[in-house]
Amino acid sequence: MEIRRSYLTAAESAVALLRDPSVAAAWAKPSALIEFSVAGLAGHLANQFVRVDGLLKSADEAAGEPVTLLEHYSRSPWVQAGLDHESNVSIRRGGEQVAADGPTALADRAAELLESQRRALPAQPSGRVVHLPWAGWSLTLDDFLLTRVTELVVHSDDLAASVGVPTPELPADVVDPVVDLLARLAVRRHGATAVIRTLSRAERSPATISAF
């Protein structure tokens, strides 16, 4: 259940960032991510709350055998697709749509969903499996929450960099599982030798070990 607390901590931090005046001031400007405006990036960050809310309220009848986290990412087309791939275009379009009512409304909606999730998450059964309708497969709820913590941590950094504020500092119980997941994804994508060299031997490190 630790990941549920980690999610709530990361979500609270993201709401505070969405409320930062620098986000509203830069709303219409390009973000640090190619093809994303600040508004669209903020919308994508807030959309993580929407995803969690939808699955918490969903029926479990459609949930099948859950896949592992590594399998989840290997099946997801956006992971290695180009910026013009429909999966990534859809992500950017969705962020803009979520942000359409402006920065105040977006932050208020995220805060409202967070408070609802504070009440709902502790009551979720251990081992609950949820179906991801946009993906077509299932994950355990806790594995899904780890994917959302990762999104919140990564995109909070993106948004902070986009508007010129410090990246939010998060505790180890939030950061550690994200670093672990990203490391495992990097090993799967580039191989263990590339990751070990990058972490230990700068003179022999490859150009990148990006997880995505």
- Per-10-residue mean pLDDT of the chain, 212 residues long, equals 95 98 97 92 96 91 88 82 64 86 97 97 94 92 97 97 97 97 93 93 87 82
Instruction: Quote the CA–CA distance of 210 and 189 in Å, as a whole number.
Output: 8
Do the beta carbons of residue 146 and residue 177 sit within 8 Å?
A: yes
pLDDT reported for residue 207: 86
User: What predicted TM-score, i.e. pTM, was given to this entire model?
Assistant: 0.92
Of residues 151, 208, 159, 201, the one with CA closest to residue 181: 151
Helix (H, G, I), strand (E, B) or coil at 114: helix
Given this model, what pLDDT does residue 30 score?
A: 95
Pairwise CA distance, residues 192 & 70, whole Å = 15
Burial of residue 164, with CB atoms counted within 10 A of its CB: 0-12 exposed, 13-18 middle, 19 or more buried: exposed
Enumerate domains of the chain plus CATH numbers: 2-167 (1.20.120.450)
Phi, psi of 187 (to 5 degrees): -65, -45
pLDDT score, position 83: 60
The pLDDT assigned to 10 comes to 98
Inter-helix orientation angle 2-18/38-56, to 10°: 150
